[in-house]
Amino acid sequence: MRKTVVVIDDDQDIRGLIQGILAGAGLEVQAADTGAAGVEAVRRHGPDIIVLDFGLPDFSGVEAARRIRGFSSAPILMLTGHEDLTDTPFAAGVHDLMAKPFSPRELRVRVEELLASHEQTTVTKPVPD
């Protein structure tokens, strides 16, 4: 079964670029252009991974991550054009950060690594009696 990714970025060109890269990697891509739409898309599609922009028009990517964490444990890769970020994104449940501009090849590698490590964590999680 194909893995699903939700891409949340307000810039149409970047959204298209990420969609193209990740679709090329064999993922099913759902896209959203605002924080609210992104949170809703995650709720609806229950993705295996989320690629989230730091700066969104309605609320910040950190806030979106916090809301997503309320109901989903899927790994979140945050993209940012801001240089000096504090630990806030990680405290909000973000797994990895990637600076813009990024290399398409690197994005694909990072997404695949996150998916693999998350899968491993889920599998090795002790099952309650």
Q: By CB under 8 A, is residue 20 in contact with another protein?
A: yes
Phi, psi of 111 (to 5 degrees): -65, -45
Out of 73, 103, 117, 121, name the contact with another protein by CB under 8 A.
103
CA dihedral sign of residues 62, 63, 64, 69:
positive
Exactly one of 45, 69, 100, 118 binds another protein (CB under 8 A); which one? 100
14 scored as a contact of another protein (CB under 8 A): yes
Tell whether residue 85 is a contact of another protein (CB under 8 A): no
Instruction: Between 14 and 37, name the residue whose CB sits nearer to another protein.
Output: 14
The packing angle between helices 12-24 and 104-124, to 10°, is 60
- Assess 105 for contact with another protein (CB under 8 A): yes
Contact 53, 77 (CB under 8 A): no
Shortest Å, Cβ 51 to another protein? 13
AA identity, residue 9 = D
